[in-house]
A and B are shown apart, each in its own frame.
Chain A
Amino acid sequence: MKDAKIRMLIPIFLLTFAMFFNIAVFQPVFDIGALIMAAVMCVLIAYAHFVVNKFFSSGDKFLVTFMSVLPVIGIAVLYRLNPDIAIKQVLWFIIGMSVYIALVIILPDLKRFAKLKYLYLAGTVVFMAMATFIGETRFGAKNWVDLGFISFQPSEFGKIFFVFYLASSLKNFSTLKSLLEPGIIVLVSIGFMVLQRDLGSAMIFSFIAIAMIFAATSKVKYLLASFGVGALGALMSYVLFPHIRRRVMIWLKPWEYAANESYQIVQGLYAMASGGLFGQGLGNGSPEYIPVRESDYIFAVIVEELGMIFSFGILIIYFLLFYRNIRSALKARSTFTSLLAVGFSVMIAMQVIVIIGGVLNMIPLTGITLPLISYGGTSMLTVFFSLGIIQKISEEA
């Protein structure tokens, strides 16, 4: 069994080196730096696989694979776009993987953490509100905090506290009254997101809350009620906020506003349409016309240069990642850990769905990152942290 999982390393190494080699070959001078990056990543991936398989073999053995493949693809494409950013992303990859490995090795049984509800509550409120008070606006959303040497998105850390909080407060769900406190926190969190104009995050928080509440309560009533509230909230925001109306307008009629408002969407569509099944080839497309191509819109670059088939494969990997995550939720021994796993699984999965759906213009575009692939240190950290927790939970079986 162990052998089989280590054998999975070979295709990962192959993919890594092949992608970086592809980029290196077409540079005017053969790019050794690319191969060095590939080697560094492979070493880290190998170490992670080794740790999980050898020392913590009761846990899920597939998570490491999926969470290695995706960043490899992401960093390779980022390297093609902007080598400096790619190097930064590798740094975040290293940090993220380290966090993951650390969690797996150091964390004891997670059940102990079930009692710290108020700690989580405090953390949630602090991080969700932080950007509103000391944050700055980027890309239209006021959800960044700049501390000079580092800048980060506090709502990303807020997500972690949010999931922990909901898991610990819902685990003993009995009556409707016990939903009051979590309900308030959920509304407050989403409220801050709306306040900060980070609609994408607001959506993700909503989905996480809905999933966790439904999982814990089993009451379809509450599910319908929360959908109702959500729909009402969406409608109200549509009426109240012009920038939301704009989003809906450019979603419905992207071609009419192609010159200005829907420029990003339209350029993304052009790029993806020009890719074909096998893409233009790494380095052959024209991503320079796509706004925000390194983070939110990186998927459009991937479709243009690597083709629909490859992108389809990426989607399958994301789904398999979700499957393994949710499997840990099913096998978890306690309600608390199960809910934790549900929360983080849904978080990652919905992020994928919302951003890819937005790039494809299936749904209105929101500014969230594609987990593990988009450039973004905070996002990477959050996802690796979540996966570390889930990996720990998967050992409970």
Chain B
Amino acid sequence: MDIQRIISLAFTGFFVIILFFIIIRSLILMSKDMSAPQEERENILKLTVLEIGENRNLRKGATMSISEETTFGRKNDNTVVLTDPYASGYHFRIFPHEGRYVIEDNKSTNGTLLNGDRLEMKTYLKKDDMIRVGNLKLKVKVS
């Protein structure tokens, strides 16, 4: 064994340690992530269906639980599909932001009403807010 080899070996050993440190650290953090998503669940938005309007796939009085981005519209790939012809393909969406939920109109043809006023820009939802599209009425129970 000579000095040059020893120095090289020391460097390589150091690389190995750091690399595996990164690996193990990542694994630990990943597993922590998996066992603690409950926090997000706590922050659920609940909407009550007051009127179903022309949307035959919804039930009056039902409660919708929203925990992540949810889109509403006539197209099939919306999270909540509306059958009311008054609604646009992608009408509006509700998404979480910084712990609260935001409603945004997707430039729909006939617009979305929030508490009677036409929704122009993204707005935070709060308890008892009323959302209306055509004859569909949704009320925010918990925000």
Chain A positions near chain B (C-beta within 8 angstroms): 4-5, 8, 11-12, 14-15, 18-19, 21-22, 25-26, 62, 65-66, 69, 111, 278-284, 306-307, 309-310, 313-314, 316-317, 320, 333-335, 396-397
- Residue from the list A8, A279, A283, A284 in contact with B25, Cβ < 8 A: A8
Contacts of B18 in A (CB 8 A): 11, 14-15, 18
CB neighbors of A among B23-62 (8 A): 23, 25-27, 29-30
**Is there a chain A Cβ closer than 8 Å to B77's Cβ?**
yes
A261 to B11, CA, bound (A): 36
- Residue from the list A12, A66, A310 in contact with B15, Cβ < 8 A: A310
Contacts of B4 in A (CB 8 A): 26, 281, 284
- Residue from the list B9, B68, B69, B77 in contact with A281, Cβ < 8 A: B9
Contacts of A284 in B (CB 8 A): 4-5, 8
A4 contacts B11, C-beta separation under 8 Å: no
B22 contacts A281, C-beta separation under 8 Å: no
CB distance from B136 to the nearest CB of A (A): 22
Contacts of B79 in A (CB 8 A): 333
CB distance from A5 to the nearest CB of B (A): 8
Known contacts A278-B9, A281-B11; A310 and B69 CB within 8 A of each other: no
CB distance from A46 to the nearest CB of B (A): 15
CB distance from B102 to the nearest CB of A (A): 13
The total of Cβ contacts below 8 Å across the A-B interface reads: 85
Closest Cβ neighbor of A18 among chain B residues: B14
CB neighbors of A among B87-113 (8 A): none
A306 contacts B15, C-beta separation under 8 Å: yes
- Residue from the list B11, B20, B21 in contact with A282, Cβ < 8 A: B11
| Count of chain B residues near A, Cβ 8 A | 26
B8 contacts A310, C-beta separation under 8 Å: no
Contacts of A22 in B (CB 8 A): 8, 11, 15
A11 to B68, CA, bound (A): 34
A4 contacts B8, C-beta separation under 8 Å: no
Closest Cβ neighbor of A283 among chain B residues: B8
A8 contacts B22, C-beta separation under 8 Å: yes
A342 to B30, CA, bound (A): 20
Classify the interface of chain A: helix, strand, loop or mixed. helix
List 10 A-B pairs, minimum CB-CB distance, nearest first. A281-B8, A313-B19, A22-B11, A15-B18, A11-B22, A278-B12, A11-B18, A310-B16, A316-B23, A11-B21
B21 contacts A62, C-beta separation under 8 Å: no
* Further contacts, 14 of them, CB under 8 A, given A4-B29, A11-B22: A11-B25, A18-B11, A19-B15, A21-B11, A22-B15, A25-B7, A62-B26, A65-B26, A69-B22, A282-B8, A310-B15, A310-B16, A314-B19, A333-B79
Closest Cβ neighbor of A334 among chain B residues: B77
Chain B positions near chain A (C-beta within 8 angstroms): 4-5, 7-9, 11-16, 18-23, 25-27, 29-30, 68-69, 77, 79
Contacts of B21 in A (CB 8 A): 11
A4 to B9, CA, bound (A): 30
Known contacts A8-B22, A334-B77; A15 and B15 CB within 8 A of each other: yes
B12 contacts A281, C-beta separation under 8 Å: yes
Known contacts A8-B26, A284-B8, A397-B68; A278 and B16 CB within 8 A of each other: yes
Contacts of B7 in A (CB 8 A): 25, 281
A317 contacts B12, C-beta separation under 8 Å: no
What are 15 contact pairs spanning A and B, CB under 8 A? A8-B22, A8-B25, A18-B14, A19-B11, A62-B26, A69-B19, A111-B77, A278-B13, A279-B12, A281-B8, A283-B8, A310-B16, A313-B20, A317-B22, A333-B68
A280 contacts B15, C-beta separation under 8 Å: no
A62 to B32, CA, bound (A): 13
A66 to B19, CA, bound (A): 11
Contacts of A26 in B (CB 8 A): 4, 8
CB distance from A115 to the nearest CB of B (A): 11
A85 to B77, CA, bound (A): 48
A313 to B18, CA, bound (A): 10
- Residue from the list B14, B15, B22 in contact with A65, Cβ < 8 A: B22
Contacts of A309 in B (CB 8 A): 16
CB distance from A346 to the nearest CB of B (A): 21
Contacts of A4 in B (CB 8 A): 29
CB distance from B135 to the nearest CB of A (A): 27
